[in-house]
Amino acid sequence: MDMPSSAPVGGLVDRAVSDASLVGAGLSPSEALKDQPKYVHHAGSPGFLALTALGVVFGDIGTSPLYAFQVALTGIGHPVPAPADVLGIVSLILWALTMMVSLKYVVFVLRADNDGEGGILALLSLVGAEQVANGNRLPALVLLGVIGASLLYGDGVITPAISVLSAMEGLKLVAPAFEHFIVPATIAVLIGLFVIQRYGTGGIGKLFGPIMVVWFVVLGGLGAANIFMAPAILGAINPAEAARFLVADPKVSFVVIGAVFLALTGGEALYADMGHVGATAIRRAWFGLVLPALLLNYFGQGALILADPAAADNPFYKLAPSWALIPMVVLATFATIIASQALVSGVFSLTRQAMQMGLCPRAKIIPTSVDEAGQIYVPAANWLLMTGTLLTVVLFRSSENLAAAYGIAVSGTMLITTILLYRVAVTRWQWTPAIAIPIIVVFGAIDATFLVSNSIKIVEGGWFPLIVGTLIASLMLSWRKGASVVRHRLQEMSMPLKQFLEYADTTCIGRAPGMGVWLTKVEHGASPMLLRHIEHNRVLHATVVLLTFVSDRRPRVPFHERHSVHRLGHGFYRIQVRLGFMQTPDIPLSLINCNRLGFDADLDHKNYYIAHETIVRKEEGSAMDPVSFAIFSFLNRIASRAPDFFKIPHDAIIEVGFRADI
């Protein structure tokens, strides 16, 4: 059974759910729901949620000043930038942040929430791609979503590495002898970051939020002090400065655009982390503190270069007076740890959504908050991400080298988000094409420009996130294909229910007391494991429940739609439990829910039956090619065990083995 898991809905007592389709229920839905608390997406106070957003969401984009402006100056091609170059680059950063983060993501994209959840897969589910988890045909939208998600995973490997490396490189300014300790110190800091993930986003947000407040205040303060020393930098507010820079030397500006994009790289993580704190908290934090601090700092760095062009080698740290250098390195280290958190949290959300959509196998998911359903911890994703990040640090060894690899993955994801946003605008927001097309074309053109500009980095290091993304996409598509083929094969091997009931009556020589709960993927008919059991044992329990979990592309399925119980006669029942990707499969709890609604089964004497499938590829006529099957088979072996995933008591499990040729 490959129903994905997710955190239980925060603050929700999921003990008695209504069921409009329950046959013969002893309780009415209104009685069942009586006195049940209502779910609140984000139960914290607005101030606390905004503080958590600073600690969880904005770390990535908030630490871009460490390297973005410096890399852009390097792209000019000469060591002493001219004032026109400085004004042009600062102007480009200003208007890029305004258009692509403030307007596109904070104003528009955050409106595209799937019941409070964000991220490219939530967006894909929102546009109505019903064929994500089912069917052999691969719709274009699904392929786009898979590519975008895979590229975001690639970005998630690089972001912690470049963020922490860029901070630790400040040690060279303190003392050149410290240069040899940069990589080991970076590795130690990153290991610590991934170790504390099990404490959850809420706990991390409480720890990181106040630090990020200090970080952004210091960013703004240092920037403002330097602007006061060279107020001519304020001319960069005029977009004509950006335009003049772009047309003065198109070849240079093309390279610089890719570096300017580094100032925007946290935009997609901002959307992916929406489920952790909510869109309102993100907007308040962005416009109230983050954006003003970032702009002041970038303008301050520009003012510093106008006053002292020789500072172009590390303008961020040279904003601070010499006595503050060590405190700034320490503060930047904490800030970059937090920057890594934004992508790590986003990867957790992305992984859960991928499971719900049938794009990856079962994995253990641990809820980390009773108030916020979006706050989860995924151990497998955490340790795999840590491994990839440490490998990245060892491979590239400096933020300058990593800058060449950074940007191409997330710029591709941003373009795909824009494409999917058009579908949301037309189908969900009811925008007319006359309104939607011009807006999407503008955003898409800018995204495409950033993507093409970053593409020149492929040879220098951009190949790395592309390889990671290609690997992730191959895993997702192979799992989707294999799960679909197995599901269809099991349906072929099953028996229609009417025929099965007659078969059971004539074949079974006895009915044992108690209840047998059969967890099956077959939504219609009797599954092969049940047929095999009857064939060999010829005994069934007095009450037989055929239980199927059905994925819903909504984050949460309302109470009145969640359970469906049908009496089939002869002591047989068909129960379907429909769950969204914010809800946890829990078989014992589902049976309690149904019993309180009138199912009236003996829950004290029951056994659970699960399938132990041996999946074999046919030598001829297989629906899967050898490579895809090998990937699917490997993922199937390492998937979380069904008893743990579905919370089945281990002392009541019976596994029934059978073979399926695909």
Instruction: Dump the DSSP string for 108-174.
Output: IGGG--BTTB-SHHHHHHHTT-TTSSS-SS--HHHHHHHHHHHHHHHHHHHHHHHHHHHHHTTHHHH
Residues 427 and 495 in one domain: no
* CA–CA gap between residue 301 and residue 307 (Å, rounded): 10
Query: Using CA atoms, how far apart are residues 471 and 455, in angstroms rounded to an integer?
Result: 19
334 domain-assigned: yes
Residue 413's contacts (CB-CB under 8 Å, 6 or more residues apart) are 120, 148, 149, 151, 152, 155, 268
* 201 and 233 fall within a common domain: yes
Q: What pLDDT shows up at residue 371?
A: 57
Could you count the other beta carbons within 10 Å of the beta carbon of residue 305? 29
User: Does residue 305 surpass a pLDDT of 90?
Assistant: yes
Residue 412 lies in a domain: yes
Specify if 322 maps to a domain: yes
pLDDT at 390: 93
Q: What is the pLDDT of residue 180?
A: 82
Whether 414 and 499 share a structural domain: no
Q: Are residues 512 and 439 in the same domain?
A: no
409-462 residue pLDDT tens: 888 889 999 998 998 899 888 899 999 999 999 999 999 999 999 888 888 888
Domain co-membership, 559 together with 433:
no
In this structure, is residue 474 part of a structural domain?
Answer: no
Q: Mean pLDDT throughout 336-340? A: 76
CA 94 to chain centre: 28
Structure tokens belonging to residue 212: 């990020």
Q: How is residue 181 written in tokens?
A: 């300790």
- Domain extent for 511: 29-39+486-661
Q: Residue 44 has what pLDDT?
A: 56
Question: Taking Cα atoms as reference points, which of 604, 486, 594 lies closest to residue 546?
Answer: 594
Residues 420 and 424: their CA atoms lie apart, in Å, by 7
- Both tokens of residue 560? 């009145």
The CA distances from residue 377 to 271, 346, 352, in Å, are 18, 11, 10
Q: Using an 8 Å Cβ cutoff, are 182 and 168 in contact?
A: yes
What is the band of 522 on the pLDDT scale with cuts at 50, 70, 90?
Answer: confident
- The tokens for 374 are 């979006």
- Which pair of structure tokens corresponds to residue 607? 């056994």
Most confident of the following: 247-251, 421-425, 438-442, 596-600: 438-442
Alpha-carbon distance of 398 to 393, in angstroms, equals: 7
Q: Are residues 72 and 116 in the same domain?
A: yes
Query: Order of strands across the sheet with 539-551?
Result: 563-569, 572-579, 539-551, 510-519, 606-616, 653-661
At residue 222 the predicted structure's pLDDT band, cuts being 50, 70 and 90, is: very high
Does any domain span residue 353?
no
Residue 614, number of CB atoms within 10 A of its CB:
10
| pLDDT more than 70, % of the chain | 89
What is each CA distance from 659 to 489, 516, 532, in whole angstroms? 11, 22, 10
76 lies in the same domain as 209: yes
Looking at the domain assignment, is residue 289 inside a domain? yes
> Of 120-134, 366-380, 631-645, where does the model show the most confidence?
631-645
Q: Indicate whether 351 belongs to any domain.
A: no
Q: Which of 604, 602, 547, 600 is nearest to 25 (CA)?
A: 600
Q: What pLDDT does 10 receive? A: 27
Q: In the listed set 407, 436, 456, which residue is the last one of a domain according to the structure?
A: 456
Q: Which residue has the higher pLDDT, 57 or 339?
A: 57
For the ranges 344-353, 457-466, 468-477, 583-592, the one whose mean pLDDT is highest: 468-477
CA geometry: angle 184, 189, 191, nearest 5 deg: 95
Q: Which two tokens stand for residue 73?
A: 């100056």
Mapping DSSP to helix (H, G, I), strand (E, B) and coil, where does residue 411 land?
A: helix
Q: How do residues 530-544 score in pLDDT, each as one tens digit?
A: 998 998 889 999 999
Per DSSP, the three-state class of 563 is: strand
- pLDDT tens string 611-621: 888 888 888 88
**Phi, then psi, of 659 in degrees rounded to 5:** -110, 140
Distance between the two ends of the chain, CA-based, in angstroms?
17
Q: Give me the CATH number covering residue 230.
A: 1.20.1740.10
Structural domain ending residue among the three candidates 435, 456, 477: 456
Whether 105 shows a pLDDT value over 70: the answer reads yes
**Does residue 628 have a pLDDT over 70?**
yes
- Mark which of 436, 456, 476 sits at the end of a domain: 456
pTM of the model: 0.76
The structure tokens listed for 309 are 């062009």
Residue 130's pLDDT band (cuts 50, 70, 90): very low
Same domain assignment for residues 408 and 552: no
Confidence bin at 295 (pLDDT 50/70/90):
very high
Asked if pLDDT for residue 243 goes beyond 60, the answer is yes
| pLDDT classification of 596: cutoffs 50, 70, 90 | confident
Give backbone dihedrals phi and psi of 301, rounded to 5 degrees, phi first.
-65, -40
CB 129 within 8 Å of CB 141: yes
pLDDT above 90 as % of the chain: 28
Determine the pLDDT at residue 346.
72
Q: What is the pLDDT of residue 342?
A: 64
* 24 or 179: which leads in pLDDT: 179
The Cα 467–Cα 473 span in angstroms is 10
Which pLDDT does position 521 carry in this prediction? Answer: 86
Residue 14 has pLDDT above 80, yes or no: no
Q: Which amino acid is at 556?
A: R
Within this chain, do residues 82 and 63 fall inside the same structural domain, yes or no? yes
pLDDT (tens digit per residue) in 29-78: 333 333 333 444 555 567 778 887 887 788 778 888 988 999 899 888 87
For residue 336, give the amino acid letter. T
Neighbours of 65 (CB within 10 A): 28
565: closest CA among 554, 551, 577, 556? 577
Overall residue count recorded for the chain in this entry: 662
In a domain, 5, yes or no: no
Output 105 or 136, whichever has higher pLDDT.
105
Tell whether 518 and 547 lie within a shared domain: yes
What pLDDT score was predicted for residue 136? 52
The verdict on 33 and 50 lying in the same domain is: no
Are 96 and 179 within one domain?
yes
Domain count, the chain: 2
pLDDT at 127: 74
